[in-house]
């Protein structure tokens, strides 16, 4: 991981982060420069709205962003013994192909987890693909048969023609 530094995202990074999000999405067709510019604006507004509930990190290689990772925190319903209960969800972790296997992804996620611990976030979840699952396991994540997910059916919420 020589010459790669993990750091919080900065306002000046938004354009490059929008490009990383485009790479992460693996779209079938490239977007236009105008679409990318509009997305960068949307992303900047979203980051601003999230405020302290967002922990975002980038991997910087000599001034070029080569990775990103996000943790969105939210409050859970209070318990009688704990008024503030925080949960975090790791999302959109991406490392440029040339930097994979060098510890960049691990450093990004570890940085998110450090920040989550510092903020008192009790539980952090992630939806990992097959290739990334071992990395998360090395960082202490475990599968839980009772953490269930429901995805909205494709036809739900659509109005009929």
Structure pTM?
0.89
CATH number at residue 119: 3.40.630.30
Q: Is residue 53 part of a domain?
A: yes
Any idea what DSSP says for residue 28?
A: S
Residues 92-145 pLDDT 10s? 999 999 999 999 999 999 999 999 999 999 999 999 999 999 999 999 999 988
Phi and psi of 88, rounded to 5°? -125, 150
Look at residue 149 in the predicted model and tell me its pLDDT: 86
In angstroms and rounded to an integer, the radius of gyration of the C-alpha atoms of the chain is 17
Q: Is residue 4 part of a domain?
A: no
Look at residue 160 in the predicted model and tell me its pLDDT: 53
| pLDDT at residue 48 greater than cutoff 90 | yes
Q: Is residue 147 part of a domain?
A: no
Look at residue 148 in the predicted model and tell me its pLDDT: 85
Q: Is residue 14 part of a domain?
A: yes
Q: Is residue 126 part of a domain?
A: yes
- Binning pLDDT at 50, 70 and 90, where does residue 7 land? very high
| pLDDT at residue 14 greater than cutoff 80 | yes
Kind plus residue range of the DSSP H or E element containing 85: strand 85-95
Angle, alpha carbons 132-40-88 (nearest 5°)? 40
Any idea what DSSP says for residue 153?
A: -
Residues 65-76 pLDDT 10s? 999 999 999 999
Q: Is residue 57 part of a domain?
A: yes
Q: Is residue 131 part of a domain?
A: yes
Q: Which residue range is the domain that position 23 belongs to?
A: 10-77+84-138
Lowest mean pLDDT among 60-64, 78-82, 128-132, 145-149: 145-149
Distance (Å, rounded) from C-alpha 33 to C-alpha 67?
21
Q: What is the total count of domains within the chain?
A: 1
Q: Is residue 154 part of a domain?
A: no
């Amino acid at each position: 991981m020589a010459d790669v530094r993990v750091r919080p995202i900065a306002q000046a990074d938004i354009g490059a982060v929008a490009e990383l999000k485009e790479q992460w999405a693996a779209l079938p067709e490239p977007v236009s420069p105008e679409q990318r510019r509009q997305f960068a604006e949307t992303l900047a507004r979203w980051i601003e709205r999230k405020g302290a509930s967002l922990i975002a990190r980038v991997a910087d290689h000599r001034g070029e962003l080569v990775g990103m990772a996000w943790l969105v925190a939210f409050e859970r319903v209070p318990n009688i013994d704990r008024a503030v209960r925080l949960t975090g969800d790791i999302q959109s972790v991406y490392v440029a192909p040339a930097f994979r296997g060098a510890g960049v992804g691990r450093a990004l996620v570890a940085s998110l987890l450090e920040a989550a611990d510092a903020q008192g976030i009790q539980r952090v979840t992630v939806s990992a693909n097959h290739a990334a699952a071992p990395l998360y396991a090395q960082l202490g994540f475990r599968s839980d048969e009772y953490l269930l997910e429901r995805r909205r059916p494709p036809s739900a919420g659509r109005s009929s023609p």
